[in-house]
Chain A
Amino acid sequence: MRIIFFVVILAAGLMYSYVAFTNLDFLTMTGRLGPGFFPRGIGVLMVVFTLWSMSAELRPSAAEGRSDVGGYAGQVALIMGFGVAYVLSLGLIGGIPATVIFLFVTLSVLNRNRLLQNGLVALLVPAAIYVLFDRLLNAAIPEGVLPLPF
C-alpha cells in the first residue's frame, strides 16, 4: 500500500511537471517571470523527492519490521465507506435527513445494542445542527431533490 501511495504521488508530480513545461510560459511577453516559473521548479522537486523517497522505500532494510496493513484498517474502510455514502446522499435527500440516516446507521454498527441511545443521537444532533446553521447562523445546508417542509 505504501509504495502505491508513492506511485500515485509520482504520477501526480509527473503530470504537474508536464503541464508546467508544456502549457505554462516561463517568461511573459515583456520578459518578466511567467506563470510557469514557480510550477516548473515545484514539479521537478516533487518528482526528485518522490523518487528519492521511493528508492529508500524499495531497499530491503526499509520493509523489515514494518507491516502495511495493521491497526484497525477494516474499521477505517468502514467509516470511509459510510462517509462517502453520506456525501453522495446529501444532494439526493438533503442535509438533515441524510444526517439522521447516516448517524443512525453508523452508530448502529459502531455502538451496537444501544438502539435508544443511537436513535436519540441520530435525532438530536441533526436538530441541533439545523438550529445552529439554519436559524442562528443563516448558513447553507445541502437541499435534496425535495426540500424540507419547514
Chain B
Amino acid sequence: MDLFADLWMGLSVAISPINLVYLLIGAMVGMIVGIIPGFGPAAGLAILLPVTFGMDPIGAVMMLAAIYYGAMYGGTITSILLNTPGESATVASTFDGYPLAQKGRAGPALVMQAVASFTGGTVGVILITLLAPAFSHVARNFGPPEYFLLALLGMLTLIVMIGENWKLGVLSALIGFALGTVGVDLETGQSRYTFGSAELIGGIHFIPIAIGLFGLGELYFAFYRGLHRIGSGSIAQYDRKKGFWPDLADWVDTKFTLVRGSILGFVVGVIPGAGATIASLMAYSFERSFSKRPKNFGKGEMAGLVAPEAANNAASSGAMIPLLTLGIPGSASTAVLLAAFLLWGMRPGPLFMTQNPEFAWGLIASMYLGNMALLALNIFAIPLFVQIIRVPYRILAPIVLVICTLGTFSVSSSMIEVYLMFTAGIVGFFMRLYGFSPAALVLGLVLGPLAEEALRQTLTISRGSFWIFLERNGSIGIIVTTAVLLLVLPLMQRIGRRAGALKQGTVSEAEDAGV
C-alpha cells in the first residue's frame, strides 16, 4: 500500500498547474527535438538544461525528463513520413513505417505509433513504480566499493556496445575521466591541471562540453553527411479526413505486439549501455520471428512498426531505474539527466528515493501524465509537426548554433565556457567522423569524479588492498552482473544488427548514430 501512497504523493506534486505547464513544454520540445534529424535527446537536454536554472528543481526535472522520452515519440514521425529517423532509436521504425506511408497508410501508421509509444511508455512507468523501490532496497547497503564498481559497470557496458571500435570507446571514456580531474582536488585542496587559471579552479563544467559534443558536434556531422541539402519535397502525404484512423485489423493484429515490445524494451532499457536503439531493433527482430507473416516485414506490416515503437519508449522508461536507484546513467541522455540532478545538489542512488520522496515520486508520477500528453500531442498536433519537418535543415542549423551559444553563455555569463563549447563541438565532430564515442566521453566526465572519490574512499577503508572488492557481497554481486552483461550485450547487439540487415541503408544510419 505504501507504493500507492507514494505514487499519490508524487501525483499531488506533479499535478500543480506550473509543473503541468513545464511538463507540456517538455513534451512539446521533446517532440521537436525528436523530429530534427541529427539532433538527439542528449543535445536537446544539454541545451535546455541552462534554461531550467531559474525553475523549481522538481518542475525542471519533470520538464527535462519529458524532453527525454518525448524525443522517442517525435523521432518516429520523420521515420514514417520522410524515411529518415529523427534519432537513432527510431531507425527500426523506418523499416515498416515508411512502406506503410508509401501504401497510402501514413495516417494509421502515425496513430498506431502514437498508441505503441504510449503503451510502451506507460508499461515502462508502471514497471518503474513496481521495481524501483525494490532496486533501491537491494542497493541500500552499498558503500564506496560498490559505488566505484557501479561506475565501472556503467562505463564498461557502454564501451562493449560500441562494438569493434571499443578501443576508441575506451579512449573516449579516458578523455572524459581526464577532463573530470581538472580543478581543485576536494580531499587535499591541491589544484590539478588549472595551469594558474582562476576559471579552471572549479573544474571543467559539464554543460559546455555536453552542448558542444551533442549539439554542435552532431550539427557539424549532419552537415558532413549532407543533411542540409535534403529538401522536404519527399514527405509522404496523408489525409486527415479519409483513411486516417487505423482499422479493426490493425488493433487486433498488434494487441500482443504492444505487450511483447513494451516488456522487452523495458528489460533492455534497464541494462546500462544497451539503450533504446538496441531495444527497438531487438523488438523488431523478435516480432518478425513471432509473426505469422514474416515475409511482410519490411513491406509495410503494422506489427513491424508497433514493436520497435513500444520497445524504444519502454526502454527510455527502463533506463530511469539504474539512474534513480543506482546513480548509473546508461546513455548520453541519462548522463545529462544525472548532471542535472547533481547541479541541483541531488545525487541519485540507493537512498535517493527515501531521502527525496517528493522529488523521485513526483518525477515518476509526471511520466504517467507526460505519456498521456504526448499521446494527445502525437495524434492531434501532427499537422504542426509536419510543418516543422518542412523547415529545411539548412535553416534550422544556424538557429541551433545560436541557441547552443547563447544557452551556454547564460549558465554563468562566461565567454570562456562559450569557447570551451565551440572547442568541444569541433572535437565532437572529429570524434564522430573517426569512430570515437562522444557518449563515452560525457559518461566519463560525469562518472569520473564520482568513481575517483569512491575508489579513494575504498582504498582508505581497506588500507590500500584491492581484495576488498572480493570481500563484500554487494561488490561480488556487481562483479558477477558485469561479467554476465559483458557476455550478453554483444549477443543482444548481434540480434539488433540482424534485424537491421533487412534494410541496409537505414542500418548504416543506426551505426552512424552510435550508442
Bound Cα distance A103, B50 (Å) = 22
B148 to chain A, nearest CB (A): 11
In contact, B422 and A87 (Cβ under 8 angstroms): yes
In contact, A71 and B405 (Cβ under 8 angstroms): no
A64 to chain B, nearest CB (A): 16
In contact, A139 and B50 (Cβ under 8 angstroms): yes
In contact, A140 and B410 (Cβ under 8 angstroms): yes
Q: Chain B, 217-228, contact with A by CB distance < 8 Å: what is the 0/1 string? A: 001100111101
Bound Cα distance A5, B44 (Å) = 27
Supposing A2-B434, A5-B434, A50-B171 touch, asked if A84 and B422 sit within 8 A by C-beta, the answer is: yes
Bound Cα distance A42, B51 (Å) = 34
In contact, A133 and B395 (Cβ under 8 angstroms): no
Supposing A73-B224, A75-B223 touch, asked if A46 and B415 sit within 8 A by C-beta, the answer is: no
User: Closest chain B residue to A29 by CB distance?
Assistant: B188
In contact, B406 and A52 (Cβ under 8 angstroms): no
In contact, A5 and B430 (Cβ under 8 angstroms): yes
The answer, among A19, A80, A137, A138, for a CB contact under 8 Å with B193, is: A19
A40 to chain B, nearest CB (A): 10
In contact, A39 and B402 (Cβ under 8 angstroms): no
Say whether B216 faces chain A, with CB atoms less than 8 Å apart: yes
In contact, B190 and A121 (Cβ under 8 angstroms): no
- Which residues does chain A contribute within 8 Å of B129, judged by CB atoms? none
Q: Chain A, 20-54, contact with B by CB distance < 8 Å: what is the 0/1 string? A: 00001100100011110111001101100110110
The secondary-structure label for the interface of chain B is: helix
- Which residues does chain B contribute within 8 Å of A49, judged by CB atoms? 167, 170-171, 174
Say whether B452 faces chain A, with CB atoms less than 8 Å apart: yes
- Which residues does chain B contribute within 8 Å of A141, judged by CB atoms? 406, 409-410
- Which residues does chain A contribute within 8 Å of B426, judged by CB atoms? 80
In contact, A75 and B456 (Cβ under 8 angstroms): no
The secondary-structure label for the interface of chain A is: helix
Bound Cα distance A12, B182 (Å) = 14
Say whether B127 faces chain A, with CB atoms less than 8 Å apart: no
Say whether B398 faces chain A, with CB atoms less than 8 Å apart: yes
In contact, B224 and A72 (Cβ under 8 angstroms): yes
In contact, B192 and A35 (Cβ under 8 angstroms): yes
Say whether B353 faces chain A, with CB atoms less than 8 Å apart: no
User: Closest chain A residue to B410 by CB distance?
Assistant: A139
- Which residues does chain B contribute within 8 Å of A142, judged by CB atoms? 406, 409, 415, 418
- Which residues does chain A contribute within 8 Å of B434, judged by CB atoms? 2, 5
Q: Chain B, 400-428, contact with A by CB distance < 8 Å: what is the 0/1 string? A: 01110110011001010011001001100
Interface size on B, residues (CB 8 A): 56
- Which residues does chain A contribute within 8 Å of B250, judged by CB atoms? none
Bound Cα distance A12, B178 (Å) = 10
B222 to chain A, nearest CB (A): 9
In contact, B405 and A90 (Cβ under 8 angstroms): yes
Say whether B460 faces chain A, with CB atoms less than 8 Å apart: yes
- Which residues does chain B contribute within 8 Å of A39, judged by CB atoms? 178, 181, 192-193
Contacts of B217-257 to chain A: CB distance below 8 A: 219-220, 223-226, 228-229
- Which residues does chain A contribute within 8 Å of B190, judged by CB atoms? 24-25, 34-35
User: Closest chain A residue to B453 by CB distance?
Assistant: A38
In contact, A110 and B178 (Cβ under 8 angstroms): no
- Which residues does chain A contribute within 8 Å of B425, judged by CB atoms? 83
B123 to chain A, nearest CB (A): 35
In contact, A34 and B181 (Cβ under 8 angstroms): no
The answer, among B178, B395, B419, for a CB contact under 8 Å with A111, is: B395
In contact, A52 and B410 (Cβ under 8 angstroms): no
Binding site for B on A (CB under 8 A): 2, 5, 9, 12-13, 16, 19, 24-25, 28, 32-35, 37-39, 42-43, 45-46, 49-50, 52-53, 56, 71-73, 75-76, 79-80, 82-84, 86-87, 90-91, 95, 99, 102-103, 106-107, 110-111, 117, 121, 125-126, 129, 133, 137-142
- Please name 14 pairs of A and B residues whose Cβ atoms are closer than 8 Å in the assembled complex, sorted by A: A35-B188, A42-B181, A49-B167, A80-B426, A86-B401, A87-B405, A90-B415, A102-B398, A102-B402, A107-B398, A110-B394, A111-B392, A125-B399, A142-B418
Q: Which 6 A-B pairs have the closest CB atoms?
A: A35-B185, A139-B410, A71-B224, A110-B394, A140-B413, A106-B398
Since A39-B193, A133-B406 are in contact, a sample of 16 more A-B pairs with Cβ atoms closer than 8 Å, ordered by chain A residue number, is A9-B171, A12-B175, A24-B190, A32-B187, A35-B185, A35-B188, A53-B167, A56-B167, A72-B223, A72-B225, A72-B226, A76-B220, A99-B402, A117-B395, A125-B399, A139-B50
